[in-house]
Amino acid sequence: MSEKFFKVPVERLLNKLIVGEHHGIKFNNSQWAMIEGLDDHRFWVHISARRTGKSLAASILAFSKLLEPRQQVMVVAPNFSLSSIIWDYTTDIIKNLQIEVDRFNQKDKVVQLVNGSTFRLLSANNRDSLIGRAANLLIVDEAAVITDDEYFTRDLRPALTTFPNSRALFISTPRGKGNYLYDYYLRGNDPEYEEWGSGLYTWKSNPLLKEKDIDEARKSSTRKLFAQEYECEWTTTEQQIYEVQEENHLTDLTEIAPKDRRFDFIAGLDVGYRDDNVFVVIATDGHEYFVMDEFVSAESTTSTLAEEIEQMISHWGIENIYIDSAAQQLKADFAYDYDIYCENAIKSVNDGIAAVQVLIEQNLIKFDIENSKHTYASISSYKWNPRTENPKPVHDWASHASDALRYAIYSHQKRSVGIYGAA
């Protein structure tokens, strides 16, 4: 396409904008590529790392289009909370530059300028609201978080037929090769899709990011999660959270005897009021962790659960039990009625997952081949939820043993560091 899509010079517009105390904005390589992509392609898939300014750039492009008379600009996201960033950026620009409006409806998320242009925010969760719309510019924010592309093919693709020079911009970080957006991204290099283009931009496209900040993000994330969020790799985090392998992690642990003085014996307890209760026993020397035993029950009474745990404590010599901090009533009942004392687990979910992931990657967790089959099967099936913007595990049968394992290991690690200092 030879005709430029943006009639208002974006570079001139950037000089007029105010961010904090600074007048003028300078786009990075990723942000400029977004403009060029839409100038040259009717459909542009923009894959960009966290903290590279993709939402800000999309907001400025939306505003630039709104300055042209009688333009329809729509932003669609998985839900209103995820799309509020672009809405806030764009409406703040309108207010700061004192652009005159005929209508500003905060509740319905609609702004109409005096030149007849309209800015509208929509949620992909509400499919009925998408039907019948027309758009000169359609922006799909956090596109990979939306489950499938039916929202586009069924509801929004017709919206782009009203105006001959319309455009669609998909912006997101990756969510694995099984995601529909990966197929859209591949269209950028497929000659059968002449109107499509795509680009991928890692954290390095933003010169304002410091290596120190990236190193901190790398340390606080799992390897796969960092690769996805900052390196824009199409890793499939919807699949396994933990990359366990039978030959490395599943073994015969009979050489570790109950009450073996070489180890501390700890346990994690995940309480399922409607789901499984899972009690996981772990031996550790402070460096390696050996999953020795487990108890799994569905809707057990407190007395039955207490009886099983008492037997485990007596058999293994368990010193610390880390329980879901939401199960305070059960914790109290155990203490008062059965002399079973538990500590509240540290429930920083993603930090705990990252800690366990590091141990698994370094082969520092082993599972007994006979007595921890359910726990091993659970962490092998533990998955990320692809429908959330921030990483969050799926809550299903596999999450209970995975949670119990994390409660024990991560809480014991943090407790040991807090008392003795880092090794």
- pLDDT tens across 162-196, in order? 888 899 999 999 887 767 898 999 999 999 999 99
- Residue 419: the pLDDT is 39
Average pLDDT on 243-252 reads 90
Task: Give the gyration radius of the chain's Cα atoms.
Answer: 26
- Residue 287: the pLDDT is 94
- Residue 259: the pLDDT is 97
pLDDT at 417 over 70: no
Distances (CA, A) of 149 to 154, 156, 181, 236, 378: 8, 10, 8, 18, 30
Q: Is 68 a catalytic residue?
A: no
Tokens of 232: 């824009």
Q: What is the mean pLDDT of the chain?
A: 87
Please count the residues of the chain: 423
pTM above 0.75, yes or no: no
Domains and CATH numbers, the chain: 10-208 (3.40.50.300), 246-420 (3.30.420.280)
- Residue 423: the pLDDT is 36
pLDDT tens string 118-156? 999 888 877 666 776 788 999 999 898 887 888 888 888
Residue 108: which pLDDT band, with cuts at 50, 70 and 90?
confident
Provide φ and ψ at 358, rounded to 5°: -60, -45
- What is the SS3 assignment for 173? coil
- Report the phi/psi class of residue 400: left, alpha or beta, with left for phi > 0 and alpha for psi in -120 to 50: alpha
Q: Are the C-beta atoms of 155 and 1 separated by less than 8 Å?
A: no
Cα gap 348→352, rounded to integer Å: 6
pLDDT at 422 over 50: no
β-strand partners of 140 = 76, 170
Average pLDDT on 337-347 reads 94
Candidates 123, 88, 94; CA nearest to 106 is: 88
Considering 142, 195, 288, 370, which one is annotated as catalytic?
Answer: 142
Higher pLDDT, 291 or 380: 291
Higher pLDDT, 20 or 244: 244
